[in-house]
């Protein structure tokens, strides 16, 4: 009886319940304000893309991307009424939930905070 239970347990370990990857998505990210959360398909990973047109105007994009297209530079075209702009977009992938979030703001160390406080008290007093 114990062998049967052990066998069933061993077979059960072979069948893992998969959970889909969640990523942030925005077609054109402006200050990371208009992001939504999406669930990727099995063959996709989260990505963050950074692109520039004529090395001037930067765009950011996020979402799910097929693994075969990860870590590549692609060209994306955006059209408006007046013109069409071609951006070279570098798409970088990651594979954990919501890993394509914006980087956090830099943290102030205690030393910097103490120096800033001391300076401000000298100036204001």
Structure tokens at 36: 């939504």
What's the CA dihedral at 70, 71, 72, 74 to 10 degrees? 70
pTM of the entire structure? 0.62
Gap between the Cα atoms of 5 and 21, Å rounded: 32
Gap between the Cα atoms of 117 and 108, Å rounded: 12
User: Which band of pLDDT confidence, cut at 50, 70 and 90, is reported for residue 41?
Assistant: very high
Q: Domain 19-97 classified CATH 2.60.40?
A: no
| Tally of CB atoms within 10 A around 25 | 20
Q: Give per-residue pLDDT as tens, 18-39.
A: 578 999 999 888 776 778 999 9
């Amino acid at each position: 009886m114990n062998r049967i239970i052990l066998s069933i347990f061993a077979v059960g370990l072979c069948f893992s319940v998969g959970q889909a990857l969640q990523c942030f998505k925005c077609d054109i990210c402006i200050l990371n304000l208009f992001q939504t959360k999406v669930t990727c398909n099995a063959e996709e990973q989260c990505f963050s893309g950074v692109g520039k047109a004529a090395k001037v105007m930067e765009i950011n994009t996020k979402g799910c991307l097929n693994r075969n297209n990860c870590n590549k530079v692609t060209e994306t075209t955006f059209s408006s009424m007046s013109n069409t702009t071609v951006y070279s977009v570098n798409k970088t992938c990651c594979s954990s939930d919501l890993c394509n979030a914006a980087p956090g703001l830099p943290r102030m160390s205690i030393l910097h905070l103490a120096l800033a406080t001391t300076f401000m008290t000298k100036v204001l007093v």
